[in-house]
Amino acid sequence: MVLLLTMMMDRPSPENLPKTKLSVAGLKKGSVIKVLFENRTIVAEDGFFVDDFSGVDLYQRYGGERLGYGNAPVALHIYEISK
């Protein structure tokens, strides 16, 4: 089992957040990825999977361009990938 913790910090454009591609070396097409604490799974492609990183600001932690979490909500996902 591999745990993968992800958080978008490079500030991609908002229209790209719903289809964010995450590359994982050795990931096989059809592998089931469990999104922990979200009651959902994702089916992998060959070497990557796609998830939605459109965030919802639950903490009002906006901090400007170089402070805090930036000007947009942050999405955090934790994945369990079974080998």
pLDDT in tens, 7-45: 555 566 777 778 888 889 999 999 999 999 999 999 999
Residue of higher predicted confidence among 33 and 66: 33
| Residue 54: predicted pLDDT | 77
Domain count, the chain: 1
Residue 69 has pLDDT above 80, yes or no: no
Q: Which residues contact 38 (CB under 8 A, 6 or more apart)?
A: 77
Residue of higher predicted confidence among 35 and 74: 35
Edge-to-edge strand order for the sheet containing 2-7? 2-7, 76-81, 32-35, 40-43
Instruction: Tell me what percent of the residues of the chain surpass a pLDDT of 90.
Output: 33
The range of the structural domain enclosing residue 10 comes to 2-81
Check residue 45 and report its DSSP letter. Answer: B
